[in-house]
Chain A
Amino acid sequence: MHFAVLIVLFLASPLWAYPTHEQCTDCHGSFKKTASHQGVSCNDCHTEITGFPHTHKHSQPTCQKCHSKASESFSKSVHQNKKMACIDCHNVHSKEKTATCTSCHAKASHEKLPSRAKHLASLNCISCHGMPEKSGITVTVKLPGASILGKKDVDHDGNGFVDKTEWHALEYQLEHKFQGASADRQYWSYGNVHSIMPKPADCSECHDKRTRFATATAKINGESGYSIQIDPGIFIPEFPSIRDFAKTVHGKNGVKCIDCHTSQDKISDSVCSQCHQNVYNTYKSSIHGRNNSAACTDCHNPHLIKPYKEYNAQERVAVCSSCHKDYMARHKWLPNTALHFKYLECTTCHSPGSEKSMVFFFEKKDGEKKAPLTYKDFKTAFGHDITVRSVIDKYSEDILKGNDIGNLLKDLNRKMNISVSIDAEIVVTRVHHDYSVTRLKERNCVVCHSPQACFYNSMYLNLPGKEEHIYTPVKGTLLSTYPLALALDIYVLGEEKITRADLDKLIHKAPQDWTSYIRNLGFKLIDLAGITMLILAFLGCMVHAVLRILVIKR
């Protein structure tokens, strides 16, 4: 009875209705089964066909049922994003080989890849475009004839690891001791071809983070010899500049390694001029450019985090003095040479087209040491949740005046509980790249040492922000008036000489508001009082003399 029920159920099941493989190939004779799909019948995949002959066109079968792992990887792949199907690469009905990368990407130029030929010759596609599961470098060292290298000859310290020094020693031996020796490198990587990333790995993956090719093995004395671990940094040099590149000015503006580095050659000026055309034109026609004496990168290191505008005067002098080493000797004519170079940069004088500014900054005093205030100091004083900008805004809306800075400084002193003072230097804030002005005939100290000096019209307070320094315009004669006691260190000799304008004010403004006139005059009062005193003394002597003459005559 039971057996009869099973037969009825079997006959009633859809399985009975599927066409056989032979029935399918009767019509679809061109579809041969691939080697990998041996033992798989048509209706294993084409499950929609339940009768023979089938009356409707069937949809494309999914591979997921059997190839779930590959499908999952593929779902994250760039090819999936491009709406590609398995069948675009895998011809499941034929014995033809699966498509390779070059089947579609035969013309991938990689023109922006630095050291293109070298990279393309050494690496497979997975290395950069995929997520290699295993990768490494194998260096096979072969010696001519029956020569062999002992472990001691390679690993001198016997730690089982060949470092850079040991490798260079080995290279020297191969070159000089063993004629015809070779050391072939192979950069190998295996990975899931289904998970091709939307964007290729950037330089840092190998040259900094080492997510690929993190290990290297040397096979000494050929295939039959012994293996030893070796520093991969020998074959894939580390670029420390990559690490912090995102923090540099270029990095922040979205410039990528490959935008500048097209080869391993030094970056030429033409690379920089692609973006900095105007600056380059000015520079090219200047004395440095005309004589080809310095390329852009000789002065500017685009990998430095610190932007040029945050350099202090001494750091800026260091840039020029890397070539102009005799700058101190050449400026012997300048009184107090060392003092000038502490507070000025070379371009203050040698680039008349640049805008010079007096830049103030806060510095903390720790014993005898003085150091500019950092962002961390600022946060400690004003709290972690507020920005430097908002602190400045509390004191003034856009332009800081003398007493705003005074109040800010007072608060800093109180909140930080250490001695904070204000200092300044005269630096270029808008650079003009023509430094052709040399041997200044003028040598006129009054260009700076007078109240008319150009930098008094362009003053800034420089505060350390989180990302970059914040320059806030400063207005008024901060130096000669309030906050007097705070700004005692900042003083350009001559700034407080009394001027004609001050005397004009004495006649026109002073009678109405004496107190404000005197306050604004600050230290200039000394000159005013001194000159008045001398004039009075002179007149006194004259009157005395005239009276004496009159008495004698009488």
Chain B
Amino acid sequence: MKRIYLHTLTIRLWHWINASIVIALTITGIQLRAPGTEAIPRSIGVWFPDYTTAVLIHKYAGFALAASFMFWLAYIIVSGSFIRHYLFRISDIALMGKQARYYVIGVFNGEKNPFTATPTGKFNPLQKLTYGIVMPVVLLALIITGILFSDIFYFRDSIERFGGVRMLDAVHVIAAYLCLLNFMVHLYMTTMGHHLLDHIKSMIVGYEEESEEEGRTA
């Protein structure tokens, strides 16, 4: 077993703040899209905001997400993290199949994870691809459409060029579903560490305990 320092304090703090924002947005987002669903948690005594409050929470949490996204982008570029961890290299293409095969078959046969996270590269090719699509495309689309939604009057011209409120809503919701999908898979993948909660622990303390054989996925 060895302890590898994977996550800096800044990125750990950012991660959990971002996670809180995403959770707030997901909960209020579901409430806005499917009004009435809040009755389910309320029936077991859990507090839930009313619709108006939910709209406001969603709006300001959305602004917070935009700020958080900007911070993350600046940080990974300035710290060099982008080049180390996120940049998709040609060599990654060949490894993608291997990684996929591991998740679908290998993991059940007790095979070794073809990828090992190191401080110089903590994402496997599939993660790089996912983050490469989710962050700059899906999340950005979600944030931009969200900002346009925050004041339909003010952004009226831009919305019109975009194709109208209807189109804006469609893009926002499609992006939200994709983010939700990513969120779900992300949560599941946190359980794929050496021990069940290893990945989550590493995001708190920064270090990940890793066996010599196994890699890292989350």
Contacts and interface: CB of A to CB of B under 8 A. Distances in A.
Interface string B30-56: 001111100000000000001110011
B153 A545 contact: no
B52 A333 contact: yes
Interface in A460-509: 479, 484, 487-491, 493-494, 496-497
B73 interface: no
A336 B165 CA distance: 14
B165 A489 contact: yes
B166 A336 contact: no
Contacts of B180: 530, 534
Contacts of B56: 335
B164 A489 contact: yes
Interface stretch (B16-24, B112-120, B169-177, B203-211): B169-177
A257 B157 CA distance: 48
B100 to A, nearest CB: 13
**B interface SS class:** helix
A368 B109 CA distance: 65
Contacts of A443: 50-52
A527 B52 contact: no
B181 interface: yes
B174 A530 contact: yes
Contacts of B152: 336, 339
A538 interface: yes
A234 interface: no
A551 B108 CA distance: 6
Contacts of B165: 488-489, 491, 493
Interface string A417-429: 0000000000000
B185 A335 contact: no
B108 A336 contact: no
Given A338-B153, A534-B184, A494 B59 contact: no
Interface string A533-551: 1100110010011011001
A446 B184 contact: no
B103 to A, nearest CB: 8
A522 to B, nearest CB: 9
A517 interface: no
B51 A488 contact: no
Interface residues of B, number: 38
A526 interface: yes
A497 B55 CA distance: 16
B81 to A, nearest CB: 28
Contacts of A450: 35
B59 A545 contact: no
B110 A530 contact: no
Contacts of B32: 494
Contact of A547 (B50, B108, B157, B184): B108
B143 to A, nearest CB: 18
B212 interface: no
A488 B184 contact: no
Contacts of B36: 446
A335 B57 CA distance: 11
Contact of A488 (B163, B174, B177, B191): B163
A526 B173 contact: yes
A548 B108 contact: yes
A537 B179 CA distance: 12
A523 interface: yes
Given A338-B153, A544-B188, A548-B108, A497 B166 contact: no
Contact of B55 (A335, A342, A496): A335
A478 to B, nearest CB: 12
A444 interface: yes
A541 B103 CA distance: 11
A93 interface: no
Interface string B120-154: 00000000000000000000000000000001110
Contact of A491 (B151, B153, B166, B181): B166
B26 to A, nearest CB: 11
Given A488-B167, A547-B108, A548-B107, A335 B181 contact: no
Contacts of B167: 488
A489 B165 CA distance: 6
Contact of B34 (A338, A493, A497, A533): A497
A526 B170 contact: yes
Contacts of A494: 32-33, 35
B178 to A, nearest CB: 8
B166 A538 contact: no
Contacts of A487: 166
A423 to B, nearest CB: 11
Contacts of B55: 335, 445
A285 to B, nearest CB: 31
Interface in B184-217: 184-185, 188, 191
Contact of A537 (B108, B110, B151, B185): B185
A449 interface: yes
A336 B36 CA distance: 22
A527 B177 CA distance: 8
Given A335-B56, A445-B51, A548-B108, A530 B151 contact: no
A335 B188 contact: no
Given A446-B35, A534-B181, A544-B188, A491 B52 contact: no
A336 B184 CA distance: 32
Contact of B184 (A445, A497, A538, A551): A538
A541 B174 CA distance: 21
A16 to B, nearest CB: 104
Nearest to B191: A545
A333 B59 CA distance: 14
Contacts of A538: 184
A450 B55 CA distance: 15
A456 B124 CA distance: 51
A494 B36 CA distance: 12
B51 A534 contact: no
Given A446-B35, A526-B170, A335 B108 contact: no
A288 B191 CA distance: 65
B52 A445 contact: yes
A112 B38 CA distance: 65
A292 to B, nearest CB: 34
A383 B157 CA distance: 34
B36 to A, nearest CB: 7
A-B pairs, top 8 by smallest CB distance, nearest first, are A488-B164, A530-B177, A541-B188, A491-B166, A446-B35, A445-B51, A335-B55, A491-B165
7 contacts: A335-B52, A335-B56, A336-B151, A445-B52, A445-B55, A446-B51, A537-B181
Given A334-B52, A487-B166, 12 more contacts: A335-B52, A336-B152, A336-B153, A368-B157, A443-B52, A479-B166, A488-B163, A489-B164, A489-B166, A497-B34, A551-B109, A551-B110
Interface of A: 333-336, 338-339, 342, 368, 443-446, 449-450, 479, 484, 487-491, 493-494, 496-497, 523, 526-527, 529-530, 533-534, 537-538, 541, 544-545, 547-548, 551
